Structure 1
Amino acid sequence: MRVGTVREIKNHEYRVGLTPESARELVAHGHEVWVESGAGLGIGASDGDYAQSGAFIQPDAKTVFDGCEMIVKVKEPQAVERAMLRQGQVLYTYLHLAPDPEQTKELVESGVTAIAYETVTGPGNSLPLLKPMSQVAGRMSIQAGATALQKATGGRGVLLGGVPGVLPGKVLIIGGGVVGFNAAQMAVGMGADVTILDRDPEVLERLDNHFEGRAKTRFSNRAVVQQMVCESELVIGAVLVPGASAPKLVTREMLGCMKPGSVLVDVAIDQGGCFETSRPTTHAEPIYVVDGIVHYCVANMPGAVARTSTYALNNVTLPHALRIADLGWKEALKANPHLAAGLNVHEGKVTYEAVARDLGYEYTPVSEVLA
């Protein structure tokens, strides 16, 4: 199979779908790899590095899209990229379709077979292709929040760890999954006063045992969310409903009780955000203010640490890419139900139930496509 990767064009996105090492693995399996010139510069990989791995360097994205049977990316295809997709082609990348009707419509119209990293499953209903970026985003959320709390960026002027004689900042983390756990690790390490909310008693028990009192846990309901949002200076939105739009857990009304200059960091923004006042921002303009509250809602947070993120991502995406290239997409999905869960769109049909429900499409089960 001819497999291609292109330079990411989303605002300040420096990751790349295939590292030179991943390209070498595909070549070793007998496949041909095309790489757009400059695609790896954001992670410090030159065209020469890819060429040494056996890849063919192409002058532009159109050449790669036109000539390859499978496109491996990081972020969802932008409008100009969607126009180059075609029926019979496999797109393997993050998609986050539920809050993005325009992208979904154009993928459906293109006829492409689109496999989304974020809905590929693993044992125990885990999301192994989402996990490494959730780890990065969780850790970055505290870093970003701490910066946004500084007075120069419009924040309250609070140092999360405090100093002797001055109380530390209060951090609320809504959601105790991978993002929430990693955010809590960073916040606790900085010496902040940390509370984690979740609705799963087993998750709360696991977090409580891990942090041994260094972070508090509370069962999440509307009353507790409102109380804790009002008390906190940094709120991290870390909730996830796989493949579906994130629930709006913090309303605009709640902002009225927060201290001016407090910060909301919405890590769920890729899925529409879990704060009512959230809207996607970029690394170029990461923050905005609503009712005196600073919002950080960058939709590709891990892109800021592109090298770490790309290698962590390739560690989990490459095995499936090899399987698709070796067997063809249909046989690969038949052989692996976890990979089959990643199929979101195929030849004009929406094949992921949450996306179909949220955006009003007729749902076509993957089993029908594979029959």
Structure 2
Amino acid sequence: MIIGIPKETKKNEVRVALIPKHAAQLTKLGHKVFVEKGAGEGCKFSDADYEKAGAQIKDSVYDSEMIVRVKEPPLNTIRKNQTVMGYLHIEKGQNPPLLNKLLTQNATSYAYEEIRDNKEERLVNLGVEAGIVGMYEGLRLYGNILEKNNIKNKLKLLRPIQEYYSVEKIFATLSKSNIENGVNVYIFGKGRVSKGVQEILKYSSIKANVLYRNKTAFIERYLPKADIIVNAIDWYPNEPHIIKRGMLKLMKKTAVIVDISCDRNGGVETCIPTTWEEPTYSVDGITHFCVDNLPSAIPRDASMHLSQMIIPHVIKVAGNDGYSNGIMTKEGIFEYAKRKSSVSEIEKQPLVIEEIA
């Protein structure tokens, strides 16, 4: 099969789906791998690195039988009967134009976010990286807000995360920064995103409060104390909002909401996905940070991890027409079985607040 690895088209998205090491695995299996010129440069993988792996460098790869990319494909790049793999974000009805295009083109598409094990755990997940980036930028943003209000703080000394390039440099910087522990951070969620958030706080010597329960009265008790709220909970249509717009009036005007899950009008009712060019907006005086491609800020680390996770599935898709894990569309049919959830199931979750040093 001819497998194309395109250069990402979203602004400031410089990750690459497959690194040279994994492109080599495909060529050794007899597949042809076409890599768009410069696809890996943003994460320091050169065209020469891919050529050494047996790939061919092309000006365009979109006519390949199979496309393996990071983010959603531009609509005009999807070919008839093509196979497409990427973070598609169509399972909750988020992108009707993309879904319709995949269906009308009879494309076979796979969404990384829906590749799961037999316990329904996601097998392709950059949640830790998203948590690291989101929490770091949340701290930096909060520091800037304090500075504008003439409140001295050490957070304002943090540089934009893209300047560090790697997770190790971010952690090293935070360890040396001696940030005073006076920031109240509340995290919704305890999964991989939350783990990344807590890593940043650990190196910053800031205690985190992790909230596991979606219950309005419980949440409202803590909002007035919060300096930074971090949403790290998956949200699906018909589930209740975790933070409703009416709750914002309970928060300090210097507070920040960092919505890493980033579902429009989702867990955070006032969430509107943003970009790195314009990462923030304000609703009722509360600053929101809702960038929807956070791992792109640490492109090399994120690309290496993503490539490692997806390569077993890329190999199976390329070699087996019947592979179904993560399948979204095939032969004009929307194959995805929508996840079912109910308010009653959510209400059964334990009411817990945990302080983590």
TM-score by length of 2: 0.82
CA contact (8 A) 1:155 1:261 kept: no
1:353 aligned counterpart, secondary structure? coil
Distance (whole Å) between structure 1 residues aligned to residue 277 and residue 105 of structure 2: 31
Distance (whole Å) between structure 1 residues aligned to residue 245 and residue 148 of structure 2: 18
Partner of 1:209: none
Q: Tell me the alpha carbon deviations over residues 89-125 of structure 1, each in whole angstroms, 9 at most, x when there is no partner.
A: 1101111112222222222222211100001102432
Report how far residue 354 of structure 1 moved.
2.1
Partner of 2:241: 248
Query: Which of the residues 191, 194, 197 maps onto 1:177?
Result: 191
Structure 1 letter corresponding to 2:134: S
RMSD (Å) for aligned C-alpha atoms:
2.6
The unaligned stretches of length 5 or more in structure 2 are 156-173, 342-357
Partner of 1:259: 252
Moved over 4 A (4+): 152-161, 244-247, 270-273
Structure 2 letter corresponding to 1:30: G
Structure 1 226/274 Cα, relative in aligned 2: closer, same or farther at 3 Å? same
What are the equivalent positions in structure 2 for 1:35-184 lying under 5 Å apart?
Answer: 35-60=35-60, 64-66=61-63, 68-78=64-74, 82-97=75-90, 98=92, 99-130=94-125, 133-151=126-144, 168-184=182-198
Identity %: 31
Partner of 1:222: 216
2:210 aligned counterpart, secondary structure? strand
Structure 1 139/317 Cα, relative in aligned 2: closer, same or farther at 3 Å? same
Structure 2 letter corresponding to 1:191: S
Structure 1 274/109 Cα, relative in aligned 2: closer, same or farther at 3 Å? same
Distance (whole Å) between structure 1 residues aligned to residue 244 and residue 203 of structure 2: 29
1:345 aligned counterpart, secondary structure? strand
What are the equivalent positions in structure 2 for 1:178-327 lying under 5 Å apart?
Answer: 178-198=192-212, 219-241=213-235, 248-269=241-262, 273-327=266-320
Query: Which of the residues 326, 331, 335 maps onto 1:342?
Result: 326
Report how far residue 25 of structure 1 moved.
0.9
CA contact (8 A) 2:215 2:242 kept: no
Structure 1 55/154 Cα, relative in aligned 2: closer, same or farther at 3 Å? farther
Report how far residue 345 of structure 1 moved.
1.4
Q: Tell me the alpha carbon deviations over residues 191-216 of structure 1, each in whole angstroms, 9 at most, x when there is no partner.
A: 22321112xxxxxxxxxxxxxxxxxx
CA contact (8 A) 1:91 1:113 kept: yes
Report how far residue 346 of structure 1 moved.
1.6
TM-score by length of 1: 0.79
Distance (whole Å) between structure 1 residues aligned to residue 239 and residue 193 of structure 2: 14
Distance (whole Å) between structure 2 residues aligned to residue 41 and residue 28 of structure 1: 23
CA contact (8 A) 2:187 2:211 kept: yes
Report how far residue 88 of structure 1 moved.
2.1
Structure 2 letter corresponding to 1:32: K
CA contact (8 A) 1:344 1:352 kept: yes
Q: Tell me the alpha carbon deviations over residues 158-185 of structure 1, each in whole angstroms, 9 at most, x when there is no partner.
A: 6679x99x75111111111111122123
CA contact (8 A) 1:252 1:276 kept: yes
Distance (whole Å) between structure 2 residues aligned to residue 309 and residue 271 of structure 1: 24
Distance (whole Å) between structure 2 residues aligned to residue 263 and residue 185 of structure 1: 19
The unaligned stretches of length 5 or more in structure 1 are 199-218, 334-339, 358-371
Partner of 1:208: none
Distance (whole Å) between structure 1 residues aligned to residue 191 and residue 293 of structure 2: 19
Distance (whole Å) between structure 1 residues aligned to residue 254 and residue 105 of structure 2: 45
